Amino acid sequence: MSVTNIGATPATTTQGHTVSVNETILPRKYQEEIFRRAQDHNIIAALDTGSGKTLISILLIKWIVLQPSAIGKAVVFLVPKVALVEQQAEFITSQTPLRVRKFHGSLDLELSDRSNWKSSFEKADVVVMTAQIFLNILTHSHWSIDKVSLIIFDECHHTRKNHAYNGIMREYFQVHPTERPKVFGMTASPIWNPKDAEGSLLTLEKNLDAIVIAVRDHVSELLENSPRPVEVIKEYSPSPDNYLYLNPSLWDTLSLFQFDDVDISWDKLHMKYHVTRNSLGPYSADLFIYHEVRARVNQLLLEFDTPDYHFVNPFSIQEDGMDIDDPPASQNTPSIPVALEQVDSILSDFKPFFEDLSTSPPAVPIPVPLAWCTPKVKALAEVLLAYHTPTFHGIVFVEQRQVAACLAKVLSKIPELRGRIRCAELVGHGSGHSARSKGSNANAASGVNVKGMGLARQQDTVRLFRRSYEEGGLNLRAFLLCTCITSLTFFVCLVVATSVAEEGLDFPACDLVIRFDPLHHMVGYVQSRGRARTKTSTFVIMAQVGHASHLDRYKAFQEIEPELKRVYQGRENPTRPASSESSSDSEEGELEEDDPEDLAARERYIVPSTGAVLTYGSAIGLINYLCSLIPHDAYTPPSVPKYSGDYAAVLELPSSLPLPVDHLIYRGPTRNSKREAKRAVAFIAVKALHKLDVFDDYLLPSTGSKGKSDYDADGRKLPDVSEIPDIMTVFVQDPWTLGPRLRMHVISIDGEDSAGLVTGAELPPFELSSEGYTITVRCTDELVFHPEEEWETLRMLEEYTKMGIWFCISGRPITLPITCFLVPLTEHNCIDFEAVKRVVNEPYGTYNWEGVTERDFGSTMVMNCNLYGRAQTLHNIRYDLTALSVPPPGSREAGYATYQEYFVQKWTRKSREAFVPTDCPLIEIHSLPRAPSGLYRPASRHQDIDKYKRHTAPVGSIVPQGACRVVHFSRPVYRAFLFLPRICRRATDVYRAREERFQLGLPPIDDDLLVEGSTLPTTNATWNNQRLETLGDSVLKLTCTVHIMNKFPHRHEGQLSQLRQSSISNRTLLSRAKEIGLERFLSSETQSLHAWRYTIPEESDVVDRLMQARHTIRREYPRRSLQDCMEATLGAAFLTGGIDMALRTGDALGLSMGGPLPWSLRYSRPPESSLIPPMFADLQASIGYEFHRSELLVEAITHPSFTTSAGSSYQRLEFLGDGKPRSSGTNLSMLTQNLAVIDLVIMRHLFQQFPDATSGQLSAARSRAVCGPTLASVAVNRLGLHKHLLINNVELSTAITRHVPILETLSPEDAILKGWKYDPPKALSDVLESLVGAVLVDSAYNFEKTASVVEVAMSDVLGVLTTNLPRDPVSELMVWAATGGCKRIAFQQVPLIAHEQVVAGPITASNLSLSKGLAAERARAILGDPNHEMSLARLCDCRRTAEERMDICPEPPGDQTSQKVTDETEEGFASIAQQKLEEDYIPPVDAVEDVEAELSDEMVLTSI
């Protein structure tokens, strides 16, 4: 690898251009000079664009991390724009071995996520981020300046006024000088006001606590590597009034109509139209109008979501519309306004001129003659033609976004330029545009982009430009060989950009840079010219003939630039200024903004407990952030603060904040500027809101998001669970041990003492019902053996028990020492040692049949020596038959001459011959069961066993008496052995449950329910904790919701949702479970006993185990089992003692429920009742409840649009009535979100009504009952809440009027089965939820009374609700695909893609979830049709591909904890599908076999 001594990326030559290659980068001498000076002082490096300033920062980073003072600190690299984060982070990563993290607004890490911010800084050496994010981190005390070793300011000339750079430096100056980090600034324009160059320079130095320096010793080398372009002025004529263009034009046609009925901002469009027309010409102006109006018309048409009208989306292939089953005949659907239809028709007529969907992306469909363009565009075309070469690359700078977009579309369609250039626009994010999306706006993706570009699209444009540069430009010969221009999509040789391209972005050096619009300031001149930095580059200034002011400004910039550079280049050993009265913080022509008196009056508010800082600069942003979290539906505008007054501002907060009226309005002091007055009143408001606990001690309106907070809602620290492995190794409580003290437990079967169970722990007394028998176990005495005989006695008991287990249970020998003994008893319940000795001495029985008489039939156990180890019982002795007798016709032996011949054939093996004595009678025997499992059913889950029984007679046979031994186990002992696995299992479960209750301080939860709550699915039992976990999840949400809502009365629903999430998240449950040691009490052992598990582990010291009791055993199970068991324990407590016991349990488990005190004592209500308005009389009768407080009822039915400053809406009550987070739109996945009051009532009903239903079935049924359409149907049909709802919004009232007739025809069955196809206004379901919340509050939080109201209101739904419901279409498709093994399906927005083929969609609907549902329904039919060309059988090769990859060792998966799972990627779709497939619990095969064996054993046990 070669080494190049350059300051930019090493390069090689291709077609006249230098292109980047991966070579080692070494600094030039002038860079080393700046680096050496930066080690000694804080400096601002003033170097031209392209001179390698970033490489100097790399050198400084490498140097600073080696300093002792930098240990444990981070390097912060700050940039002013989002796109620069990715660029600089990538460069630092490529040049250093350091850990680099990057942050900007489009990354999924929220400001309130304190724990992840802290972790990110601790795990990084260098952090690259936008300045505003770092300022937020500092002010909210997520990190501090003294934990930073170096701050690098890219484009540091922004450090002035209220820019975030300046805010960061204000925090920097608050730190003691010895603890401040080093500062390094980089800029090509350190002076922004040419009229006061010295003042600008001093201000920048003062703000950054640094000195501006330039290269002194190696100037010639710098000039050699930073060449100046040739500067050219291109003049053009003024625009004419008339053009040879379409008559009438699109704008003229639209202007002929009056559009008062169409919600389009015509005034704003008119202004932008004329700006575009004056700059580019009539065609470009119409192009802008077409795409802008088309996007708005499409949006308006979507709102008319009738099934019979569907418009064509111009940016996608449109399929058929919604498929509503049996829509009502009359839906009273309002017609589309005539004006809107006219606009749509006009746009369709002009579509051939402005839109071509056959190309990707859609392009201008026709050639654009220069006659349709302004002289300015003609002059631009002349410049492009004059400077064009086959390897040409350039940038055109414009002022406005729509001009950039239109010009980029039109230039390549001008006949004179066609085939010579390939254009793309590059604009900023714009206000209101989220940098998260990648081309999410269809208009931005394919039309005229006026709303800004997302980060991904910006990066794509730069990447295509660089790729064209590296490939040597757009080759004309290659172009002529192409059939269409779309083949050159991956090449861009000309970028039309706004100021976003002036600085920072990693553009290669351009041949041509053109200032299409006038220059306004010195910085823009220097930065844009810096893009033309090769020796042959040209910088063109376009100026209109006769506009002398534009030319004069440019010439002034050109002339004064050398003088400005001499200001800082000529200084010898400059010193850092402490202050300067002559400093300037304004650009040329700007007025001073911050008055000195105002600055002197500013305050800082520091929260003592956290160090979070409130400043005048952050206060307005915090108020805006608080209001942005207030939920709102589609019919309510976002909540915003209102400022009034001029120099003494008044702030009015939204009435949707749950604050007293006197805390919604704040008045600020008098200030000398309007903006400062606004900051001052915001500062006062934030301070007051912090005291009201609306802002927490970190001055954030929420304590965490997505369960990532370090604290729960009560402010208690959450232990770190990141190091807990997915599969935990734990020591669980276990009673099976020996030790020095042994205890006797008597086993009684149906009241008869049958045997004794000896172990080293005292087992709790318990009762077990199984197969019609009642088994009880009770502890009687402590056993004491003679010291000299103790070891021999224990050996005998062990031999006896092992033999019984082998003979009666497992059929396998036991080699390890066992931890319990089952022994025969005398009539006084002492160990029958004689019986023990008989078995030990003759373990396989005796051939001596003396003493066996008729009374022993049915109770004597025998063993056929030809069928070794199989237990059988004697039924009869046939003295009339021997082995030589002839079998009677019809018997199983009838095909043989004698019984002997049959026995020989049946029992002969390769290794032995059959033993068939002929001198003895034959005996009738019945086979006894063996190898039963530990399966049993708790009392709470007893079922009618008869429906599982196989109603067949016991299997009997005839064998020679001489071939059988009489076994010494008695009938009662055998029966006890047969039940021993279940007894041991039940004893283990009860022991752990009672230890859990005692050690954790739980209330008296029912044993069976607590056992079920602690039983993991890994046991392979027919029951486990998943049902209780589903119920407990609802209990947890309700109890946390009630506590949080009362604890934080002044926080709105959005804040409460995040608080609750931090208290109920899986992370919180896991951390609290580990904190209390819940893992010690969970049962994970399989209940199949093919091998006896109650033994001393092989690695253990047997003598030590006999001398000392050990009540724990090592087990492994998934860590997620802990969070499930937390919720299952809550569910068990709720079923035992209702909400009161659940509160006590939650307190013992460490959950945020407000303590163990019952709600009735914790929350009181006013003793005096208030008069209920007559309009609510019928409503109270419908729900069967009379309100105590009328204001709660009024609040419950008040939509946010109706509220005033003196009243509240239903949002907080709705938060109580339901538990789901607010969303601006509905999503199918949201239908599975858990609710609160209604959710718990529905879940309890399902739990009790369907005891056989799995957890997945319960959740699916619950989601159907509590989804928006079902609740809206109940609100309308059962309660008539649409008549009581208080609304002040025409659109919402219209939507409700349109949907009420549809809902009135909707039966409860249709609401459950087909509800996903309907999308009624959310307000209809919200008002029902808020009404339920109002009942709960009004009844002093009496849950049972509230539950009865819900049951009455939803009785029709509950009557038809079952657990055998068809899945919604998306889930059905997912499960079907997962069952078939396909992993190549995903949604792409709305179209459904399978193996890169569009199968269905996009389908237009009123919301995304409905559109996905319809697309999934259609895709399922297509993929499942074997005759269709897109059937899954033809498309899918996933199974074959998986088999081919089995021999390849897969790479270990990375950390995926922060990755968001979505159905819009193939991996996410497959992951969600697999989860849904596993939701319906199916017992594993061995568990099913155990159940079958258990049930087949029952008939034998019954016969015994």
Tens of pLDDT, residue by residue over 569-597, are: 666 556 655 544 445 555 444 444 578 88
The residue-averaged pLDDT of 503-523 equals 83
Does 240 sit behind a cis peptide bond, omega within 30 degrees of 0 on the bond before it?
no
Share of the chain above pLDDT 90, in %: 38
Q: 117 and 143 in contact (C-beta within 8 Å)?
A: yes
Tokens for 1081?
A: 């009490």
How many whole angstroms from its chain centre is CA 975? Answer: 54
pLDDT tens column, 589-636: 444 457 888 888 999 999 998 899 999 988 998 999 888 888 777 777
Tell me what pLDDT residue 1444 has.
55
pLDDT tens column, 1213-1226: 555 544 443 333 32
- Cβ neighbors of 1177 (< 8 A, separation 6 or more) are none
Q: Is the pLDDT of residue 655 over 70?
A: yes
Q: Is the pLDDT of residue 400 over 50?
A: yes
Of 663, 694, 1337, 1341, the closest CA to residue 1048 belongs to 694
pLDDT tens column, 1162-1194: 987 777 788 888 888 899 999 999 998 888 888
Tell me what pLDDT residue 559 has.
79
Q: Is the pLDDT of residue 1286 over 50?
A: yes
Q: Is the pLDDT of residue 1210 over 80?
A: no
Question: In angstroms, what CA-CA distances link 388 with 213, 349, 417, 875?
Answer: 38, 37, 10, 108
Query: Of the ranges 245-249, 482-486, 1115-1119, 1299-1303, which one carries the lowest mean pLDDT score?
Result: 482-486
Q: How confident is the model at residue 1132 (pLDDT cuts 50, 70, 90)?
A: very high
Query: Of the ranges 476-485, 760-769, 915-924, 987-996, which one carries the lowest mean pLDDT score?
Result: 476-485
**Dihedral angle sign, alpha carbons of residues 360, 366, 372, 373:** positive
Helix (H, G, I), strand (E, B) or coil at 66: coil
Higher confidence at residue 1317 or residue 673?
673
Tell me what pLDDT residue 521 has.
81
The residue-averaged pLDDT of 880-891 equals 92
Tell me what pLDDT residue 991 has.
95
Give the bridge partners for 45, in sequence order.
186, 213
Q: How confident is the model at residue 128 (pLDDT cuts 50, 70, 90)?
A: very high
Rg (CA), the chain: 41
Helix (H, G, I), strand (E, B) or coil at 71: coil
Tell me what pLDDT residue 1158 has.
94
What's the number of CA atoms in the CB half-sphere (13 Å) around residue 1404? 24
Tell me what pLDDT residue 1469 has.
87
Q: Is the pLDDT of residue 480 over 70?
A: no
Tell me what pLDDT residue 703 has.
58
How many whole angstroms from its chain centre is CA 670? Answer: 46
The CA distance from 592 to 594, in Å, is 6
The residue-averaged pLDDT of 1390-1414 equals 79
The CA distance from 1337 to 1045, in Å, is 11
Q: Is the pLDDT of residue 397 over 90?
A: yes
Other C-beta atoms lying within 10 Å of the C-beta of residue 1465: 15
Q: Which of 42-56, 143-157, 495-509, 1225-1239 has the highest mean pLDDT?
A: 143-157
Q: Is the pLDDT of residue 1212 over 70?
A: no
Residue type, position 218, single letter: H
User: For residue 1042, what is the enclosing H or E element?
Assistant: helix 1026-1047
Residue given tokens 């030809």 in the structure block: 866
Tokens for 1445?
A: 């990859």
Tell me what pLDDT residue 43 has.
92
Tell me what pLDDT residue 954 has.
60
Question: In angstroms, what CA-CA distances link 1196 with 366, 1283, 1309?
Answer: 58, 13, 28
Of 899, 895, 897, the closest CA to residue 962 belongs to 899
pLDDT tens column, 372-383: 999 999 999 999
Tokens for 374?
A: 């302004």
Q: 1302 and 333 in contact (C-beta within 8 Å)?
A: no
The residue-averaged pLDDT of 1454-1480 equals 70
Q: Is the pLDDT of residue 1241 over 60?
A: yes
Q: 773-783 and 752-759 as β-strands: parallel, antiparallel, unpaired?
A: unpaired
- Cβ neighbors of 1243 (< 8 A, separation 6 or more) are 1030, 1031, 1034, 1258, 1262
Tell me what pLDDT residue 362 has.
67
What's the number of CA atoms in the CB half-sphere (13 Å) around residue 642? 10
The CA distance from 1049 to 226, in Å, is 62
- Cβ neighbors of 336 (< 8 A, separation 6 or more) are 301, 304, 309
Of 901, 896, 927, the closest CA to residue 914 belongs to 901
Give the bridge partners for 747, in sequence order.
755, 777
Helix (H, G, I), strand (E, B) or coil at 756: strand
Higher confidence at residue 1263 or residue 443?
1263
Tell me what pLDDT residue 321 has.
34
Q: 364 and 409 in contact (C-beta within 8 Å)?
A: yes
Tell me what pLDDT residue 738 has.
87
The CA distance from 1026 to 413, in Å, is 64
Tell me what pLDDT residue 821 has.
95
Give the bridge partners for 778, in sequence order.
746
Higher confidence at residue 107 or residue 1176?
1176
Phi, psi of 1297 (to 5 degrees): -60, -35
Q: How confident is the model at residue 277 (pLDDT cuts 50, 70, 90)?
A: very high
Helix (H, G, I), strand (E, B) or coil at 1086: coil
The CA distance from 103 to 677, in Å, is 32
Higher confidence at residue 192 or residue 33?
33
Q: 126-130 and 100-103 as β-strands: parallel, antiparallel, unpaired?
A: parallel
Q: 104 and 435 in contact (C-beta within 8 Å)?
A: yes
Phi, psi of 1468 (to 5 degrees): -65, -45
Q: How confident is the model at residue 160 (pLDDT cuts 50, 70, 90)?
A: confident
Tokens for 752?
A: 């008869």
What's the number of CA atoms in the CB half-sphere (13 Å) around residue 1020? 15
| Residue 185 CB-density burial (10 A; 0-12 exposed, 13-18 middle, 19+ buried) | buried
The residue-averaged pLDDT of 1264-1270 equals 90
The CA distance from 77 to 148, in Å, is 11
Phi, psi of 1119 (to 5 degrees): -70, -25
Higher confidence at residue 15 or residue 224?
224
Tell me what pLDDT residue 1043 has.
93
The CA distance from 593 to 586, in Å, is 8
The CA distance from 447 to 1263, in Å, is 40
Query: Of the ranges 152-156, 637-641, 903-907, 1493-1497, which one carries the lowest mean pLDDT score?
Result: 1493-1497
Q: 208 and 153 in contact (C-beta within 8 Å)?
A: yes
Q: Is the pLDDT of residue 647 over 60?
A: yes
Of 253, 320, 336, the closest CA to residue 293 belongs to 253
pLDDT tens column, 536-551: 889 999 999 988 888 8
| Residue 963 CB-density burial (10 A; 0-12 exposed, 13-18 middle, 19+ buried) | buried
Average model confidence (pLDDT) across the chain: 81
Q: Is the pLDDT of residue 1148 over 90?
A: yes
Tokens for 1500?
A: 């034998």
Tell me what pLDDT residue 904 has.
94
- Cβ neighbors of 599 (< 8 A, separation 6 or more) are none
Tokens for 827?
A: 């009539």
Greatest Cα pair distance, the chain, in angstroms, is 136
Tokens for 937?
A: 């059913």
Residue type, position 796, single letter: M
Tell me what pLDDT residue 775 has.
93
Q: Give the burial string for 226-240 (b: 16+ CB within 10 Å, else e).
A: bbebeeeebebeebe
The CA distance from 510 to 394, in Å, is 5
Residues with catalytic function = 1218, 1329
Residue type, position 1500, single letter: V
Helix (H, G, I), strand (E, B) or coil at 753: strand
Q: 1272 and 1324 in contact (C-beta within 8 Å)?
A: yes
Q: How confident is the model at residue 931 (pLDDT cuts 50, 70, 90)?
A: low
Q: Give the burial string for 886-915 (b: 16+ CB within 10 Å, else e).
A: ebeeeeebeebebbbbbbbebbeeeeeeee
Tell me what pLDDT residue 328 has.
41
Instruction: Specify the pTM.
Output: 0.74
Tell me what pLDDT residue 764 has.
93
